[in-house]
Amino acid sequence: MAILRIRTVPDPVLRRKSKPIRRVDDAVRTLARNMVETLHHALGVGLAAPQVGRLQRLIVLHLPDEDDPRVLVNPEITRREGERRVEEGCLSVPGYLGLITRAVKVRARAVNESGARIRLSAEELFAQALEHEVDHLDGILYLDHLKSHEDLHEIGDDDEAQHHHDYAAEIVDSSLMKNRGEKRFLIARPDSSGGGIGEIKDEVIVQVTPGEIDRFGR
């Protein structure tokens, strides 16, 4: 097993389209295992092969409430339902979180580590992570979904903040300070041992325009 170097913007590999994997062989499984180790090391929730410089349609996900990581080969989103505004970060875009629109539910198909075809139905964070990682395979970053540069927020460039990406950060509380037009997020890292929520690491204040306030309610 090995921890791979995570490519960050503006590395051009992040903007290229990945190729389908023809056969799930040991080389693919080794890459997947190394990506999972890299993901755990970075305290992330999802990682796509181009983020480690490999233009292959392979993603790994490890959701905070699941025991085991998922390896998905040639994942394709087949259906999206609903819309919601979410805070999103990316291991390849360190130091920032953006406010974008994602689906509430997605359906997808993929091939698993054993080469079997599978279908998935995902909601909430799982759906968001799937959309985010499948985007990477097409050279798309969440930055492309921002409607305005004002939806992008710097979260600091110290070492601690570097880890809050690809959904490493779980929003544990959010409250709207209506009169100030701000929304406050308390962000915690998933606990790397048990997959639960660890201590609160960060607080992010997001400016909200009046028209957006209703959509933020949670």
| Spatial separation of the C-alpha atoms in residues 47 and 156, rounded to whole Å | 22
The H or E element that residue 206 is part of is: strand 197-207
Q: Which of the residues 133, 160, 203, 212 is marked catalytic? A: 133
Q: Is 161 in the site for Zn ion (CB under 5 A)?
A: no
Q: Is 133 among the catalytic positions?
A: yes
Q: Which of 38, 88, 45, 37 is nearest to 64 (CA)?
A: 45
Taking a C-beta distance cutoff of 8 angstroms, is the pair 18, 50 a contact? yes
**By C-beta, is 87 or 166 nearer to Zn ion?**
166
Stretch that binds Zn ion, among 53-61, 73-81, 85-93, 203-211 (CB under 5 A): 85-93
Q: Which of 28, 61, 90, 155 binds Zn ion (CB under 5 A)?
A: 90
Stretch that binds Zn ion, among 30-38, 72-80, 86-94, 101-109 (CB under 5 A): 86-94
Q: Which residues of 68-81 are buried (b: 16+ CB within 10 A; e: fewer)?
A: ebbbbbbbebeeee
**By C-beta, is 90 or 127 nearer to Zn ion?**
90
CA atoms within 13 A of residue 67's CA, in its CB half-sphere: 0
Cβ 156 to Zn ion shortest distance, Å: 18
Cβ 165 to Zn ion shortest distance, Å: 7
Cβ 25 to Zn ion shortest distance, Å: 26
Residue nearest to Zn ion (CB): 90
Taking a C-beta distance cutoff of 8 angstroms, is the pair 60, 35 a contact? yes
Q: Is 42 in the site for Zn ion (CB under 5 A)?
A: no
Which residue spans within 45-147 are E strands per DSSP? 46-48, 58-61, 70-81, 84-88, 96-102, 105-111, 117-123
Q: Is 169 in the site for Zn ion (CB under 5 A)?
A: no
Q: Which of 105, 98, 102, 99 is nearest to 84 (CA)?
A: 102
Stretch that binds Zn ion, among 31-39, 84-92, 100-108, 184-192 (CB under 5 A): 84-92
Q: How remote is the C-alpha of 6 from its chain's centroid?
A: 14
Cβ 105 to Zn ion shortest distance, Å: 20
Q: Is 61 in the site for Zn ion (CB under 5 A)?
A: no
The H or E element that residue 41 is part of is: helix 26-41
Stretch that binds Zn ion, among 53-61, 77-85, 106-114, 164-172 (CB under 5 A): 164-172
Residues that bind Zn ion (CB under 5 A): 90, 166
Residues annotated catalytic, as ranges: 133
